[in-house]
Amino acid sequence: MDIFEKCRNYTTARQIMAAGLYPYFIPMTGSEGTEADFRGHRLIMCGSNNYLGLTTHPKVRQAAIDAIHKFGTSCTGSRFLNGTLEMHEELERQLADWVGKPAALVFSTGMQVNLGTISALVGRDDIALLDKDDHASLVDGAKLSWGDTRRFRHNDIDSLDHLLCAIPEEKGRLVVVDGLFSMGGDIAPLPELVEVCKQHGARLMVDDAHAIGVLGGGRGTAAHFGLTDGVDLIMGTFSKSFASLGGFIASDEDVIHYIKHVARALIFSASIPPSNAAAALAALEIMRTEPERVARVNQIGEYMRNSYQKMGFNTGPSVSPIIPIIIGDDTLTFQVWKLLFENGIFVNPVISPGVPPGNQLLRTSYMATHTDEQLTRVLETFERIGKQVGLI
């Protein structure tokens, strides 16, 4: 059996391409935050995770430039060996303070945070319990561990409690959830999660990749609910509100010390470049000094969600600036995406396995820097196309 046979037989993407509806790997020729350019075609960007609009902030740009002038373009080594700068450790101190934990550890990407943290903590006699809608990186982190993985129904505390009740006391238990779910735009029921974890002696990890910069004044889901002490591990990425690349895990000092010396995704990866660390530090400072950005992105989210619902669109469980437009059919999802794209609106089409079958959707997301004029144009375009294809 030729291992490449599966490659030759893979036709899913080619079928979409042949239909002229392929929506992925779009090579942009320019990006200015709220707008992007595709070969001269201007698009309002409603498919980015740049929630606070900081990728174009002068202070963030200058911090990255200054870091390149001082340190060059790469550390050319892992954090474990020659790739740690004082800047990395300063970033870790400030991140820990921001989310309210004693210590933090910076990884090269958010994906690697979850791969490294979960696989380091969940051993042979342990069990990871994941929400059905958890991000793929959390699922893969659990798969990389030596322990077992159990899944509970999305945001269903009774389902989690049932699984925990069946686990012998001698087993270690790590419950892992997204704080703000990246497709539905809904929030994990953290008060109930904290309570059930305490009842069963389980530890709780919250992936706040999409929540930091959006919830809790920018500090994330635990701060949103006033439950920072009830969450054992808080994860975040730099590729969203921090306008950079990388990620971190925050927890107690002994937990971070252990992960630092055991997580293969950290030890065997090059550290983030100085420019990325400097950009993240600058973004964090702006979060502290410009809280109006967090307020603005949430105001926009509420306005857009209410507007879509009044038109008759199904926005699912969203309560955030992540707003799905649920369509429920693969072909129609791609067709609406293309019509929007041709009319200057960039969104993200998501089908199974990204979402459950029947929940195919267009993922829209918003930035604090979107103008009222841009938002009006987006809504007008959605309404016109929604009526054209019979969605509303």
Q: What backbone torsions phi and psi does residue 187 show, to the nearest 5 degrees?
A: -110, 140
Distance CA 315, CA 309 (A): 7
Q: What are the pLDDT digits (tens) for 251-268?
A: 999 999 999 999 999 999
| Fold type of domain 58-289 | Aspartate Aminotransferase; domain 2 (3.40.640)
Burial class (CB in 10 A: 0-12, 13-18, 19+), 281: buried
Tokens for 337? Answer: 């995406």
Dihedral angle of Cα 176, 182, 183, 184, to the nearest 10 degrees: 80
Q: Is the CATH number of domain 9-45+291-389 3.90.1150.10? A: yes
Cβ neighbours around 225 below 10 Å, total: 20
Cβ neighbours around 226 below 10 Å, total: 11
Handedness of CA 326, 327, 331, 336 (dihedral sign): negative
Cis ω for the linkage preceding 353 (within 30 of 0): yes
Per-residue confidence (pLDDT) for residue 30, from 0 to 100:
86
**Tokens 């950009």 belong to which residue?**
279
pLDDT above 90 (res 37): yes
Question: pTM of the predicted model, to two decimals?
Answer: 0.97
Q: What are the pLDDT digits (tens) for 61-104?
A: 999 999 999 999 999 999 999 999 999 999 999 999 999 999 99
Q: In angstroms, how far is CA 137 from the centroid of its own chain?
A: 10
**Could you tell me the residue ranges of all domains in the chain?**
9-45+291-389, 58-289
Domain 9-45+291-389 and domain 58-289 have a common topology: no
**Tokens 């955030």 belong to which residue?**
320
Q: What are the pLDDT digits (tens) for 100-135?
A: 999 999 999 999 999 999 999 999 999 999 999 999
3 state SS of 103? strand
